[in-house]
């Protein structure tokens, strides 16, 4: 039974939202950030990059977090941001050149996270958890929602479609050719129906935002311990999420690029691979896998198809069925010597939404010696692994949609 609450969002006025909202800070290059800060006084990047006001770009740690809070207050004082008067759910639709996403922005419960109503599919780094917890403690807001997914629900879908027929509160385009819409659901009957429908949802799955959700839970726990009047209903007991039906979640694969062959020649590598794979040399033909347990490899100027020899591999559980796990346990760790796939310097990951040609170009450049590609994980595989209490290897999934910051802001 999921607790999904409406909230009073702080958000930009209709005339400024296209200028205010931004992609995640980490996506921009330094040059792009500089240009936006120089020429757009309304971009939320001014809040996230508070030292710009004083021509100081290297503000870090708690000092930066406190300045972020101050820049945020200035946006409110200048009425760039205003808070809604009534609690609401927010229907957000993002239309890209290739996809159409439509879900609900709401407040979700840290209690659900602890009780595993909200489930994660990858481990988090303690250092990042604590850093972001400190950020949240000093700033007091969520500006970028956690992406959660749930089984398609006819009640929720029908209410969303009803609002999509109305004029949107926001409608704007961005330079990446995406179109954005936002509708506000504050009608008491509709709010009640949505909350009730989510109570019938047994599990919400974190698709993106593991560190944000974990850090929100850490902060809530610490604030509760220091609040003698804690009730569990305080705003810090919730975090902002974007809830998307699982049929709309898009999962892409990460290609793997390896900088050396661990002392092997290309011929010796092929002989080592022969233990677990039937190997076909495809020459210059671009090969992309079309089935599970098939892999593409680019080595020494040629493509290879690697087909797992199932008789030589031990399938023990649902995690062992995962292609990213198979590649790690049969190739990356035992043959190429990569033990820590999250932090090893000799491996680089790149999300693949194109034709797979980068498998060739990055190796031909001389930066890497070999590359590997595979089919993307599907949502059912993700759910099966999570429901079994297992964690997926790092960089198994590249999930869309990627969400903008400051469309709605949740204060606590």
How high is the pLDDT of residue 287? Answer: 96
How high is the pLDDT of residue 384? Answer: 98
Give yes or no: residues 55 and 192 share one domain: yes
Number of neighbours of residue 410 by Cβ within 10 angstroms: 22
Give pTM, 2 decimals.
Answer: 0.94
- Parent domain of 214: 4-248+400-411
pLDDT at 316 exceeding the cut of 90: yes
Give yes or no: residues 263 and 232 share one domain: no
Structure tokens at 59: 């503000």
How high is the pLDDT of residue 34? Answer: 95
pLDDT at 355 exceeding the cut of 80: no
pLDDT tens-digit readout, 195-205: 999 999 999 99
Q: Would 387 be classed as within a structural domain?
A: no
Whole-Å CA distances, 125 to 177, 237, 342: 34, 22, 10
pLDDT at 26 exceeding the cut of 90: no
Give yes or no: residues 146 and 278 share one domain: no
pLDDT tens-digit readout, 106-139: 999 999 999 999 999 999 989 999 999 999 999 9
Cα within 13 Å of Cα(199), Cβ side:
7
Give yes or no: residues 231 and 299 share one domain: no
Give yes or no: residues 184 and 301 share one domain: no
Give yes or no: residues 212 and 312 share one domain: no
Q: Is 165 exposed, middle or buried (0-12, 13-18, 19+ CB in 10 A)?
A: exposed
- Report which of 235, 160, 146, 165 is spatially closest to residue 198, judged by C-alpha positions: 160
Give yes or no: residues 55 and 165 share one domain: yes
- CB within 8 Å of 286: residues ≥ 6 apart: 303, 355, 356, 357, 359, 360
Q: Would 393 be classed as within a structural domain?
A: no
- CB within 8 Å of 374: residues ≥ 6 apart: 253, 289, 294, 295, 296, 323, 324, 327
Give yes or no: residues 175 and 213 share one domain: yes
How high is the pLDDT of residue 352? Answer: 75
pLDDT > 90 in the chain, percent: 94
Mean per-residue pLDDT, 36-65: 93
The answer for 219, left when phi > 0, alpha when psi is -120 to 50, beta otherwise, is alpha
pLDDT tens-digit readout, 386-397: 999 999 998 899
Q: What is the DSSP letter of 148?
A: E
How high is the pLDDT of residue 353? Answer: 75
Q: Are 156 and 201 in contact (CB under 8 A)?
A: no
154-158, 215-219, 302-306, 347-351, range with the lowest pLDDT: 347-351
Q: Are 219 and 137 in contact (CB under 8 A)?
A: yes
Taking the C-alpha atoms of residue 255 and residue 365, their distance in angstroms, rounded to an integer, is 16
Q: Would 335 be classed as within a structural domain?
A: yes
Taking the C-alpha atoms of residue 396 and residue 390, their distance in angstroms, rounded to an integer, is 13
Q: Would 338 be classed as within a structural domain?
A: yes
H/E segment holding residue 160: helix 154-164
How high is the pLDDT of residue 246? Answer: 98
Whole-Å CA distances, 358 to 155, 229, 230, 324: 43, 57, 53, 18
Q: Residue 50: helix, strand or coil by DSSP?
A: helix
Taking the C-alpha atoms of residue 264 and residue 267, their distance in angstroms, rounded to an integer, is 8
Structure tokens at 144: 């970028």
Mean per-residue pLDDT, 17-27: 95
How high is the pLDDT of residue 277? Answer: 99
Q: Average model confidence (pLDDT) for the chain?
A: 97
If one compares 354 and 55, the residue with the highest pLDDT of the two is 55
Give yes or no: residues 231 and 261 share one domain: no
Mean per-residue pLDDT, 87-98: 98
Q: Would 176 be classed as within a structural domain?
A: yes
Q: Are 348 and 395 in contact (CB under 8 A)?
A: no
Number of domain units in the chain: 2
Q: Would 78 be classed as within a structural domain?
A: yes
Cα within 13 Å of Cα(93), Cβ side:
19
Give yes or no: residues 304 and 158 share one domain: no
Q: How confident is the model at residue 331 (pLDDT cuts 50, 70, 90)?
A: very high
Strand pairing report for 277-283 and 179-185: unpaired
């Amino acid at each position: 039974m999921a607790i999904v609450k409406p909230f009073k969002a702080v958000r930009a006025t209709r005339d400024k939202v296209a200028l205010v909202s931004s992609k995640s800070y980490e996506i921009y290059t330094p040059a792009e950030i500089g240009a936006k800060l120089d020429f757009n006084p309304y971009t939320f990047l001014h809040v996230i990059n508070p030292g710009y006001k004083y021509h100081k770009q290297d503000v870090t740690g708690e000092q930066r977090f406190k300045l972020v809070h101050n820049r945020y207050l200035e946006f409110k004082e200048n009425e760039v941001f205003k808070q809604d008067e009534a609690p609401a759910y927010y229907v957000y639709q993002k239309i890209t050149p290739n996809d159409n996403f439509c879900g609900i922005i709401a407040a979700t419960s840290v209690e659900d996270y602890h009780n595993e109503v909200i489930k994660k599919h990858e481990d988090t780094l303690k250092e990042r958890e604590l850093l972001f917890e400190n950020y949240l403690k000093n700033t007091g807001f969520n500006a970028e929602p956690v992406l959660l997914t749930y089984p398609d629900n006819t009640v929720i879908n029908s209410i969303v479609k009803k609002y999509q027929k109305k004029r949107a509160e926001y409608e704007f385009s961005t330079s990446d050719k995406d179109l954005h819409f936002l509708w506000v659901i504050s009608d008491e009957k509709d709010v009640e129906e949505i909350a009730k429908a989510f109570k019938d949802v047994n599990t919400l799955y974190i698709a993106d935002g593991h560190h944000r959700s974990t850090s929100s839970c850490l902060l809530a726990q610490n604030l509760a311990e220091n609040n003698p009047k804690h009730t569990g209903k305080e705003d810090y007991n919730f975090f902002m999420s974007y809830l998307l039906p699982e049929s709309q979640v898009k999962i892409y694969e990460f290609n793997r690029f390896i900088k050396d062959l661990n002392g092997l020649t290309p011929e010796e590598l092929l002989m080592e691979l022969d233990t677990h794979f039937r190997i076909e040399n495809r020459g210059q033909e671009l090969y992309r896998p079309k089935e599970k347990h098939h892999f593409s490899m680019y080595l020494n100027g040629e493509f290879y198809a690697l087909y797992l020899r199932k008789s030589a591999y031990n399938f023990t559980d649902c995690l062992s069925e995962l292609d990213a796990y198979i590649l790690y346990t049969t190739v990356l760790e035992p043959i190429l010597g990569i033990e820590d796939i999250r932090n090893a310097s000799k491996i680089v990951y790149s999300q693949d939404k194109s034709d797979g040609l980068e498998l060739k170009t990055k190796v031909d450049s001389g930066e890497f010696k070999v590359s590997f590609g595979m089919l993307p994980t599907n949502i059912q595989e993700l759910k099966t692994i999570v429901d079994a209490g297992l964690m997926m290897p790092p960089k198994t999934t590249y999930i869309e949609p990627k969400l903008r910051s400051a469309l709605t802001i949740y204060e606590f």
